[in-house]
Amino acid sequence: MTGPPIMSRGGARFSTGGTRAACLASDDRETPYVEGWELTGGGPRVTLRAELTGESAMAQIVVLEDGGLVLAWHEPGRQVVRLFGPDGRGRTIGTVEGSLRLLPGPGRPGWLATAVGVEADGSSVVHRLTGEDPWLEPVARVPGRLGGAVFHDGRIVATAILDGTPTPVTVDPGTGTTGPFLDPPVDGACHVLLAGAGRVLLAVETGAGPRLGLVESREPGPVRLLEGLDGLPGVIAPVALDPAGRSLAFAVTRGARSELALYDIEAETLRWIAVPPGKISPPAVWTGHGLWFPFSPSARPTAFGWLPPGEADVRMGEEPEPVREPARWQARLETFRGPAGPVEAVVHGPDWRAGGRVVVALHGGPDRHWSLAFDGFFQMLADAGLTVVAPNQRGSTGYGRAHAEAIVGAWGGPDLDDIRALCGTLTAGRPSGAEPPALYGSSYGGFLALLAAAADPGAWSACVAVAPFRSAASLYAQAPQPVRNLIDRLGGLGEVTDALGPRDLASLVPRIRARVLIAHGLLDETIPVTQSRELVDRLISAGHPDVTYREPANRGHIAFGARSGDPLAREITAFLTQDGHRVRAAEAATPMAR
């Protein structure tokens, strides 16, 4: 198909004042770029475009009020920080050998952004990023790893992991002093979520589960727990406080759809806002011009959704130049019969019943879900003639507590059962002699894809696993603490007892007969690359005849981009259309170095 390119956008961020935004973007060009946007009463408009010379998958953005940007990305052996002016001209202001996390600055002269680094002893150092020499100045040290943070009323309010417990702390950038944010403190875990209008929103762990609470940031006192939210259907995510501090906006996920609700803090009531089918992605910002948030409809790339003051319907900003809109293949929902009830799936591309090639795409998490939204990579696959069936099997969020918690203590149990049943439905519903479905998955989805290929060796034609892991136990022994916390929370170390046996891919991958492609970014800080190397070695030693491995040297947990110019995305597409061996070496991602 000819015409405008497939675009993808992600990683959106807003300036502290909410008048500017930026996002990472890509299309069929080799080089990704960053877009700067101005948010006005007339709608959003692009004011800046600049190419990225580094790897966009690990890029960070801080948006400045004048329309400029601070960007950081990784290159082999270092992290590069660049400053872009409102005219799009950029210059490198510094490099570090480690890794810094960028946060907005306080809006003071000489303080462009805030950078947080982690020391060997586990403490965090907060730096002022100046843009001049010296470009990075330490201002405070916090005895713990910093998580979510906001710059509010001249101070940093952040979640610090103190003695293993998430605890809100404050950092005074002027004096370098740190201290507790809450007085009196709360018992148990407490996370900083967002701030606005002199208030800070927290997630507080109570005996009855997590609750949302507000604190007046200028004079912190007891946490006021929000009422009227119990039993709200779906998964709720607070995204912004209004300028007056009277309303709180929620993105609500019900199944594969996103909805928008406004919560009146004083009246403790909800008002629902009409939103087109699609996905709302935090963060958001609420200004005098309205509520702004990244939104991806089912048929166009992510752009900025906008709820003007006093209105009840979300508007979408216009594209700055022609893109493929509407998409040739709009995402749609289908429901399949599962062993324990219906399983909803997002489908991209031709009708799977027609007999063409089908790919079952498995999401990561595992506590995530596919959304009824535009997906640039799935558009690429659909344009190549593939139908993508992306199920929200048991373990996925958005379908109620029982559905989400079905795999707690049983990774690769109920979710695998749903995938095996889906494979049976797809096979039975297609013409006799049609090629068996293929599998694609990333992170936990990569683990589940390989597991499904091993469980039913003759049922699948190919399997692509991006950043998979061998087993939950193997990952637990090598992973950073946040990943271990997730494994603990979701019972990943529990054993599934059935005919297939323990869910350790080292012993199961020799069963696989489908063609296999595994890819893993060398810089992955979530799942160590050694997990994939071990699986590839096991497949090769077992005599598997068709194994491809790619290890991009400058990429992390997100090993490839959605743009059609991405070499690894092209290779995966070719592999799934059975043209994998025809990809020239010069176009392939960097092979593994051993």
Residue 33 banded pLDDT, cuts 50, 70, 90: confident
Residue 321 banded pLDDT, cuts 50, 70, 90: low
Closest by Cα among 61, 80, 60 to 69: 61
Three-state SS for 425? Answer: helix
Our separate counts of H helices and E strands in the chain read: 9, 37
Three-state SS for 559? Answer: coil
Task: For residues 336 and 311, give the distance between their C-alpha atoms in angstroms, rounded to a whole number.
Answer: 37
Q: Measure Cα distances from 448 to 387, 419, 516 in Å.
A: 19, 9, 14
Residue 220: per-residue pLDDT: 64
Structure-token match 């289908």, residue found:
334
Looking from the CA of 510 toward its CB, the CA atoms found within 13 Å total: 6
Structure-token pair, residue 45: 């408009």
Task: For residues 533 and 290, give the distance between their C-alpha atoms in angstroms, rounded to a whole number.
Answer: 49
**Cβ atoms within 10 Å, residue 588:** 17
Residue 427: per-residue pLDDT: 96
Mean pLDDT of 359-376: 93
Report the amino acid identity of residue 287.
T
| Contact of 95 with 81, CB cutoff 8 Å | yes
Residue 430: per-residue pLDDT: 94
Structure-token pair, residue 495: 């054993």
| Contact of 127 with 113, CB cutoff 8 Å | no
DSSP string, 248-278: EEEEEEETTEEEEEEEETTTTEEEEEB--SE
Residues 324-358: pLDDT tens digits? 455 578 899 999 999 999 999 999 999 999 989 99
Whether residue 203 is predicted with pLDDT greater than 80 in this model: the reply is yes
User: Among 227-231, 333-337, 454-458, which stretch is predicted with the lowest mean pLDDT?
Assistant: 227-231
Compute φ and ψ for 298, nearest 5 degrees. -75, -15
| Contact of 527 with 467, CB cutoff 8 Å | yes
Residue 276: per-residue pLDDT: 87
Task: For residues 481 and 466, give the distance between their C-alpha atoms in angstroms, rounded to a whole number.
Answer: 21
Rg (CA), the chain: 24
| Contact of 389 with 578, CB cutoff 8 Å | no
Whether residue 593 is predicted with pLDDT greater than 50 in this model: the reply is no
User: Among 166-175, 370-379, 471-480, 577-586, which stretch is predicted with the lowest mean pLDDT?
Assistant: 577-586
Prior bond of 276 cis (ω within 30°): no
Structure-token match 């046996």, residue found:
501
| Contact of 387 with 358, CB cutoff 8 Å | yes
Closest by Cα among 105, 108, 107, 399 to 116: 105
**Cβ atoms within 10 Å, residue 136:** 17
Mean pLDDT of 311-323: 70
pTM: 0.84
Whether residue 448 is predicted with pLDDT greater than 50 in this model: the reply is yes
Mean pLDDT of 184-202: 87
Three-state SS for 291? Answer: strand
**Cβ atoms within 10 Å, residue 133:** 8
Residue 548 banded pLDDT, cuts 50, 70, 90: very high
The segment with the largest mean pLDDT, out of 15-29, 312-326, 501-515, is: 501-515
Mean pLDDT of the chain, nearest integer: 87
User: Among 23-37, 162-176, 260-274, 497-511, which stretch is predicted with the lowest mean pLDDT?
Assistant: 23-37
Report the amino acid identity of residue 348.
H
Residue 56: per-residue pLDDT: 60
Structure-token pair, residue 567: 């070499």
Residue 228 banded pLDDT, cuts 50, 70, 90: confident
Q: Which residue has the higher pLDDT, 180 or 575?
A: 575
Domains and CATH numbers, the chain: 332-587 (3.40.50.1820)
Residue 565 banded pLDDT, cuts 50, 70, 90: low
How large a percentage of the chain has pLDDT more than 90?
A: 49
Residue 343: per-residue pLDDT: 97
Sign of the CA dihedral 297, 573, 423, 428?
A: positive
Strand (E) or helix (H) holding 476: helix 472-478
Report the amino acid identity of residue 311.
E
Mean pLDDT of 121-142: 90
Strand (E) or helix (H) holding 115: strand 113-118
**Cβ atoms within 10 Å, residue 502:** 14
Task: For residues 346 and 390, give the distance between their C-alpha atoms in angstroms, rounded to a whole number.
Answer: 5
Whether residue 561 is predicted with pLDDT greater than 70 in this model: the reply is no
Any residues with CB less than 8 A from the CB of 355 and at least 6 apart, and which?
A: 430, 431, 434
